[in-house]
Amino acid sequence: MSENTAYHVIPYSRDALTDCLVENSKATHDTVVNKLHLTYFSEYFTNLKAGSIVVEKNYVDHDYLEDYAAYYVRCFEKYERSTKRLHFFSKKFSEQQFRECLTDSDAALSETLLQECYIGFVVVKPLPKTIIGRTCLKTYPSDNGRREFPILREFSVSLFGLSLKIDSLAYQEQDTVVAACATSALWSCFQGSGKLFQHAIPSPVEITKAATRHVPENLPANSARALPNAGLTATQMAIAIRDVGLEPYILGTSDPYVLNGSMYAYLRGKIPSVLAFRLTDVLSDSNGSNVDREMGAHAVTVTGFSLGKDKPEPGPNGFLLRASRIDKLYAHDDQVGPFSRMVWSQSPRNRSYLKTSWKGVGSVEAIPIFLMLPLYHKIRIPFEIIHDAIHLVDSILETMRHGRKEASPSLERPEWDIYLTTVSEFKVNFLKSMKPMLGAQVEKTLTVALPRFLWRATARCGGECHLDLLFDATGIAQQKLLVHVVAVKPEIPALISGFADFYKSRNDIRLNNVQAEAIFDWFSTTH
Amino acid sequence: MKTLTNEAGNIDLSEEIIEMVKWLGTACGRDAVIGAVQKSQSEVEELNKVRQVERDQLNIPITL
- What is the tens place of the pLDDT at every residue in A20-58? 999 999 999 999 999 999 999 999 999 999 999 999 999
End-to-end CA distance of chain B: 61
Residue A368's nearest CA partner among A257, A236, A218 is: A257
Residue A85's nearest CA partner among A147, A21, A39, A27 is: A21
A108 burial level (CB within 10 Å; 0-12, 13-18, 19+): exposed
- Is the per-residue pLDDT at B7 higher than 60? no
**Smallest Cα distance from A279 to chain B, Å:** 9
Higher-confidence position of B2 and A162: A162
**Cβ contact, residue pair A279, B64, below 8 Å:** yes
Q: Which of A36, A181, A395 to mutate to test the interface with B (most CBs of B within 10 A)?
A: A395
A352-355 and A363-375 as β-strands: parallel, antiparallel, unpaired? antiparallel
Chain A residues lying within 8 Å of B63, measured CB to CB = 180-181, 230-231, 296-297
Q: Give the DSSP H or E segment for B42.
A: helix B27-51
**Cβ contact, residue pair A252, B54, below 8 Å:** yes
pLDDT at position A330, please? 98
pLDDT at position A228, please? 86
What is the mean predicted confidence (pLDDT) over A442-463? 94
Q: Give the DSSP H or E segment for B24.
A: helix B13-24
**Cβ contact, residue pair B58, A182, below 8 Å:** no
**Cβ contact, residue pair A498, B37, below 8 Å:** no
Chain A residues lying within 8 Å of B59, measured CB to CB = 216-218, 221-222, 233-235
Encode A43-61 in three state secondary structure: HHHHHCCCCEEEEEEEECC
Q: Is A279 in CB contact (< 8 Å) with chain B? A: yes
Output Rg (C-alpha) for chain B, integer angstroms. Answer: 22
Return residues 221-240 of A near B (CB < 8 Å).
221-223, 230-235, 237
pLDDT at position A406, please? 57
How far is residue A238's CA from residue A54's CA, in Å, rounded to a whole number?
39
% pLDDT > 70, chain A: 98
- For residues A334 and A174, the answer to whether their CB atoms sit within 8 Å is yes
- Is the per-residue pLDDT at A13 higher than 90? yes
What is the mean predicted confidence (pLDDT) over B1-11? 47
Interhelix angle A181-197/A204-211, rounded to 10 degrees, is 100
Q: Give the DSSP H or E segment for A489.
A: none
Between the alpha carbon of residue B6 and those of residues A357, A461, A490, A526, the distances in Å are: 47, 11, 10, 27
Residue A395's nearest CA partner among A307, A495, A481 is: A495
Residue A457's beta-bridge partner residues?
A: A418, A469
H helical segments located in A244-321: 256-267
- Is the per-residue pLDDT at A109 higher than 70? yes
**Cβ contact, residue pair A252, B52, below 8 Å:** yes
pLDDT at position B2, please? 44
Chain B residues lying within 8 Å of A509, measured CB to CB = 30, 33-34, 37
How far is residue A371's CA from residue A249's CA, in Å, rounded to a whole number?
8
Residue A266's nearest CA partner among A242, A239, A246 is: A246
Angle A323-A329-A330 from CA coordinates, rounded to 5° = 135
How far is residue A110's CA from residue A116's CA, in Å, rounded to a whole number?
10
What is the mean predicted confidence (pLDDT) over A413-438? 90
Entry pTM: 0.94
With the CA atoms of A168, A169, A175 and A181 taken in that order, what torsion angle do they form, in degrees rounded to the nearest 10?
Answer: -140
- For residues A207 and A287, the answer to whether their CB atoms sit within 8 Å is no
pLDDT at position B8, please? 47
Residue A169's nearest CA partner among A142, A146, A149 is: A149
**Cβ contact, residue pair B24, A400, below 8 Å:** yes
pLDDT at position B3, please? 47
Residue A136's beta-bridge partner residues?
A: A121
**Cβ contact, residue pair A494, B1, below 8 Å:** yes
**pLDDT tens-place string over residues A313-333:** 999 999 999 999 999 999 999
**Cβ contact, residue pair A231, B61, below 8 Å:** yes
DSSP conformation class of A321: B
Return residues 293-312 of A near B (CB < 8 Å).
295-299
**Smallest Cα distance from B27 to chain A, Å:** 12
Q: Which of A399, A412, A489 to mutate to test the interface with B (most CBs of B within 10 A)?
A: A399
Return residues 78-137 of A near B (CB < 8 Å).
none
Chain A residues lying within 8 Å of B54, measured CB to CB = 252
Q: Give the DSSP H or E segment for B45.
A: helix B27-51
- Is the per-residue pLDDT at B4 higher than 70? no
**Cβ contact, residue pair B47, A258, below 8 Å:** yes
- Is the per-residue pLDDT at A230 higher than 50? yes
Residue of chain B nearest A175, judged by CA positions: B64
Return the minimum-mean-pLDDT range out of A167-181, A246-260, B6-20.
B6-20
Mean pLDDT computed over every residue of chain A? 93
